[in-house]
Amino acid sequence: MGEYEQREEEVALPFDPANTANDGSVIFIGKVRSEWTSRPDCPKNLVQARERGHGAKVEVFEPYLEGLIGLEKFSHAYIVYWMHQARRDLIVQYPRFKDMPTGTFALRSPVRPNPISLAIVKILSIDAKEGIIEIDAIDCLDGTPLLDIKPWFDSVDNVKI
Amino acid sequence: MGEYEQREEEVALPFDPANTANDGSVIFIGKVRSEWTSRPDCPKNLVQARERGHGAKVEVFEPYLEGLIGLEKFSHAYIVYWMHQARRDLIVQYPRFKDMPTGTFALRSPVRPNPISLAIVKILSIDAKEGIIEIDAIDCLDGTPLLDIKPWFDSVDNVKI
């Protein structure tokens, strides 16, 4: 938690969800495998991750392997993961790239009441027997716990601006 | 749970995540407000929801209101919600619209180890004082617990096919 210190003008909740959250529980179904092993080295978003040119993998634990049946029909998927190292109590944050304090729900920061992150990634290959999915890029640390994989649909998930 | 009965050729995990999940805990930060009050009436996806033409709202609970500061700069947002009525142990499912049993991670079904759903929606208005966000549509039941709101970025979240 030490890496996520509270800066001036940032606002913390009067309680810490890390200690009080009990409305539902998650189970880790796998791990994200990336080239990034420390926070300073980790890209800030998927665009940066793609620019740096390393691929990444998603590892699905054994009990869940059958859940991958049919995923090979999709070009892209949502990867949903749990930012287990992030503090959860900052509701207003002041990232260095912003010119004013900004609400957590207007940021993609890992720091949020529920540290759930997501990325839409390109599927490069699937080894359903080993539970390994190769993807084009990811912006989280190696070993980040996996919560879910969802197929991506052009009709539902693409925004026509 | 009775509405989600196991069909022939569906596969359940040897354990039920609803009882064994304890890797992390979530906190409900609000509620989705929709026109859909029963599962048979609920649209199956966002495309259906949009076609039926009702708007929807997201209600953010009081402690989290400051988290909305700056969200008005975005045209679209991710709504992340918790499918609290869904069973969690089916890893292969056979929905009526599919011609074969399909892995949970190749489906957008609410039935999954972690019942986290998401939708990319258009923001119509934000009342930050009351914590009400009007959105174009949503495909979940009225009262569905809210986990997160994230800004949507064209550069990161839109797939150029």
- Note the CATH architecture for domain A11-18+28-152: Beta Barrel (2.40)
The Cα–Cα gap between A86 and B116 comes to 19
A12 touches chain B (CB under 8 A): no
Question: CB B17 to CB A11 under 8 A?
Answer: no
Could you say which DSSP state residue A7 is in? P
B160 touches chain A (CB under 8 A): no
B63 touches chain A (CB under 8 A): yes
The dihedral region occupied by B38, where left means phi > 0, alpha psi between -120 and 50, and beta the remainder, is beta
Query: What confidence category does residue A126 fall into, taking pLDDT thresholds of 50, 70 and 90?
Result: very high
Q: Quick one: tokens of B52?
A: 């039926």
Q: Nearest residue of A to residue B149 by CA position?
A: A105
Question: CB B63 to CB A91 under 8 A?
Answer: yes
Q: Nearest residue of B to residue A60 by CA position?
A: B105
B75 touches chain A (CB under 8 A): yes
Which pTM does this prediction carry?
A: 0.95
Q: Which residues does B101 contact at the CB level (< 8 Å), separation at least 6?
A: A69, B9, B10, B11, B92, B93, B94
Q: Nearest residue of B to residue A66 by CA position?
A: B103
- Do the beta carbons of residue A118 and residue B116 sit within 8 Å? no
Q: What is the pLDDT of residues B88-124, one digit of tens each?
A: 999 999 998 889 999 999 999 999 999 999 999 999 9
Residue B135 sits at the vertex; the CA angle it makes with A102 and A87, to the nearest 5 degrees, is 35
Q: What is the pLDDT of residues A103-122, one digit of tens each?
A: 999 999 999 999 999 999 99
**pLDDT score for A44:** 87
**Taking CB atoms and an 8 Å cutoff, what residues of chain A touch B123?**
none
Sequence length of chain A is 161
**pLDDT score for A39:** 86
